[in-house]
Structure 1
Amino acid sequence: MKNNIYIFSNSVLSRKDNSFTLHSLQDTEPQHKIDIYETADENVILPAKKDDVFDKPKHIPAESIEAFYTFGEVRFNTQFFKIASYYSIPVHIFNYYGNYVGSFLPVNNNSSGYIQLLQYETYLSYNKRVFIAKSILESAVKNILFNLKNPFAEDDALLEQISNINSLLEQIHFAETISELLGYEGNVRTIYYKTWPYLIKRETDFYKRIKQPPIGIINSLISFGNSILYGIILNEIYRTRLNPFIGFIHEVGDNKQPLVYDISEIFKPIIVDKVIFRVLNLNIIKDDDFQQTNEGFYLKDDPRKKFVEQFENRLSTVIHHKRLNRRISYRSLIRMECYNLINYLEGKIKNYEPYRAS
């Protein structure tokens, strides 16, 4: 299994033969800048000043890298992109606040114009598009309800919210337009977030989703977790020949990569939300791990690493897939979901059934 590499500190990334060597700068505050940098030393592909002091280097075989996720000060040069392209390693860039900036995706020699044409054809066939969108949202709501399963929950208010979500799920099943589906999805999320005080075992000021900027620690964690998930899903789309710019729920042109947002709806509840519940309920992330700026609430650098570690642990968690009757990790489940969609587009399966936790 290949690994995601997260770079938080000011670092130098160099290459030697078929390996990357990562040096982190000691006792320096992250600068959180991104620029293009050229150097005469072609072996150095994320350079720093000559007088900088490094800690012990980490050697990473190129074949073991799934993708890079960069935070902190990152200086790219052409050598970096050449090596990343040669080994088909995507690079996802986040700014200081943990917001997604963009990605470098190497040329995919396995890309299929045929698959992309099928995506276009399905998108333009309104009935097919609504069917896929409806299937995705039904699974997303099922996964939300999975999070609300609690044999010890006897609170009437919580049970009422669960009942309201089930009612909206039934309405989703009979929806006929994309706008209807988006409306129901928004209503489900609004109710779902009202149940979070029952799922988080500490007092919070969270009462609704506020994105831009994120207000409060929970909104901050949701935004950061979702951003990482978008990068993970983009990786799998890239490796499975789908086109991220052709979605079914989210309109083409309204979002950077509509298909990424579509597939993320399935996995946000069972990956991002579960990680948030864990880091808060186990006090892995504390209130003083955040900083408040004019841009909202954001995790500090060290707590951000803790969150990413828990996120990676969640991706590696192996579950039993009832429909397949086999064990599979959440990371593999995301890639399988992409292939599931491809099989439907190609007509290999009659019904598209996204993953539902149970």
Structure 2
Amino acid sequence: MKMLLLNGHGINMRVDAAKLHIKNGRFSTTEDPQEYVFSPKRMDIDSIVVYGRSGSLSLEAIRWLIKHNVQITMLDWNGKLLTTMLPSESTNVKTKFAQYHAYEDQDARAKLAKKFIEAKFSKSESVLDYLKQRYPEIEYDFSVDKAKLEKAESIREILGIEGGVAWKYWNKYAKAIPEEYDFRARTDNNARASNSGDKVNVMLNYGYALLESECLRAINSVGLDAHVGFLHEMNPSKNSLAYDLQEPFRFIVDLAVMNLIEKGVMDSKDFIRTESFSLRLKPTGARKVIEEFNFMMNSKVEYRKKNSSWGSVLLVKARELSHHLVGKRKTIEFSKPVFVGERDDSDLLRKKIIDMSYTEWNSATRKLYHELRKRCPFHLG
């Protein structure tokens, strides 16, 4: 999976001599915006994300992109998904009818909703296990919540249990965030993209918008209706099934944001505070989030005896769901494959040593010397 981010003023996409010409936007009159030219049948971009202020997209360019199976995603100034133009969808009408029948069957709907939340719980545990390798103060226990989920019979019950685990998860996740990020937790009130007041929530919201667009692509490819979900209520203005499908894969965004924080690559200049005191990403910050999101989506995992990317797994899970709805697959689960992350702190430790001032290095060396002397006084003199 490969994304191209377009930002700034004067974005232009057009077709000339059968080739697609793309010009990125500019932020000053002195800079020279980057230009791209793609020949027919040689497009190596899967998705174009437009986070710009102004520009033009010709009808012929839209046709060119759709014919080459390239998704066009439009994001609002605050990172919220405005719309997405998708390649042609599957014409299998039976799949949609099966989806509608499952939605109307309350028992079938609740069973599917549970599957999404079971997977979310499993992936949340994987994230916390990964973080605990570096932050031992992170302790959690979802056993009671899992037991409640097994007995839950209604969507309302399921959502209530999910909300409780989410509250626990974000409070533990927050323990790995440095104080300067001013991140406390994530609730229904501040989870809206337009209400982000801190850097972590801004990055999370932007990442979830990218994930939503990928879920829409997967849903579209298998012929399901993005507006008819099982966990989330059906709403013509919302992509309810995309929200459902996000749940087992939100961990990808959570880890991508944590990676950016731990690497120390995000800078204050990557954010801007609006007049309403909300925070948003500048183009530099958006690009960093997209790059890390791409890295995570392209990371490999073993599934069905194959070494696949998480992006490919998302597509496979959408297909498995469609097959389950039409009766081609008896069971469905979203917990597998399991994310297993092993820490390698050697690069981080090396960076910390390099960044140390002489005073810090001298102090650390003295402490280490005195500690070793206590343990083996006869050898250190």
Matches within 5 A, 1:198-347: 198-200=175-177, 203-209=180-186, 210-212=190-192, 213-253=195-235, 256-269=238-251, 271-293=252-274, 294=276, 296-321=278-303, 324-347=304-327
> What is the rounded CA distance, in whole Å, between the counterparts of 1:298 and 1:53 in structure 2?
23
Q: Alignment partner of 1:195: what SS?
A: helix
Gaps of 5+ in 1: 30-51
> What is the rounded CA distance, in whole Å, between the counterparts of 1:283 and 1:313 in structure 2?
17
Alignment of 1:87 onto 2:68? yes
Partner of 1:13: 13
Relative distance call for 1:334 and 1:6 in structure 2 (3 A) is same
Q: Alignment partner of 1:197: what SS?
A: helix
Structure 1 residue 238: deviation in Å? 1.2
- Of 107, 131, 147, the residue aligned with 2:127 is 147
> Do 1:130 and 1:178's aligned partners in 2 also have CA atoms closer than 8 Å?
yes
For each residue in 1:231-251, what CA deviation from the matched residue of structure 2 results, as whole angstroms up to 9, or x when unmatched? Answer: 111111111211111110001
> Do 2:12 and 2:57's aligned partners in 1 also have CA atoms closer than 8 Å?
no
For each residue in 1:183-235, what CA deviation from the matched residue of structure 2 results, as whole angstroms up to 9, or x when unmatched? Answer: 11111111111012333356432112213411211111111111111011111
- Of 183, 200, 208, the residue aligned with 2:160 is 183
What is the TM-score with the length of structure 2 in the denominator? 0.79
> What is the rounded CA distance, in whole Å, between the counterparts of 1:62 and 1:187 in structure 2?
50
Q: Alignment partner of 2:302: what SS?
A: strand
> What is the rounded CA distance, in whole Å, between the counterparts of 1:283 and 1:255 in structure 2?
37
Relative distance call for 1:16 and 1:211 in structure 2 (3 A) is same
> What is the rounded CA distance, in whole Å, between the counterparts of 2:118 and 2:91 in structure 1?
29
Q: Alignment partner of 1:248: what SS?
A: coil
Deviates more, 1:63-72 or 1:330-339: 63-72
> What is the rounded CA distance, in whole Å, between the counterparts of 1:74 and 1:26 in structure 2?
10
Structure 1 residue 54: deviation in Å? 5.1
Q: Alignment partner of 1:22: what SS?
A: strand
Partner of 1:36: none
Q: Alignment partner of 2:46: what SS?
A: strand
Gaps of 5+ in 2: 340-381
- Bigger Cα Rg: 2
Matches within 5 A, 1:24-35: 24-25=24-25, 28=28
Amino acid at match of 2:36: K
Partner of 2:38: 60
For each residue in 1:48-88, what CA deviation from the matched residue of structure 2 results, as whole angstroms up to 9, or x when unmatched? Answer: xxxx9854532224542423211112323333333334334
> Do 1:138 and 1:173's aligned partners in 2 also have CA atoms closer than 8 Å?
no
Sequence identity percentage? 19
> Do 2:75 and 2:81's aligned partners in 1 also have CA atoms closer than 8 Å?
yes
> What is the rounded CA distance, in whole Å, between the counterparts of 1:58 and 1:332 in structure 2?
26
Alignment of 1:192 onto 2:169? yes
Q: Alignment partner of 1:221: what SS?
A: helix
Partner of 1:75: 56
Amino acid at match of 2:92: S
Structure 1 residue 288: deviation in Å? 4.3
Partner of 2:3: 4
Q: Alignment partner of 2:243: what SS?
A: helix
> What is the rounded CA distance, in whole Å, between the counterparts of 1:312 and 1:151 in structure 2?
24
Amino acid at match of 1:177: S
> Do 1:280 and 1:286's aligned partners in 2 also have CA atoms closer than 8 Å?
no
Q: Size of the alignment, in residue pairs?
A: 326
Relative distance call for 1:26 and 1:287 in structure 2 (3 A) is closer
What is the TM-score with the length of structure 1 in the denominator? 0.84
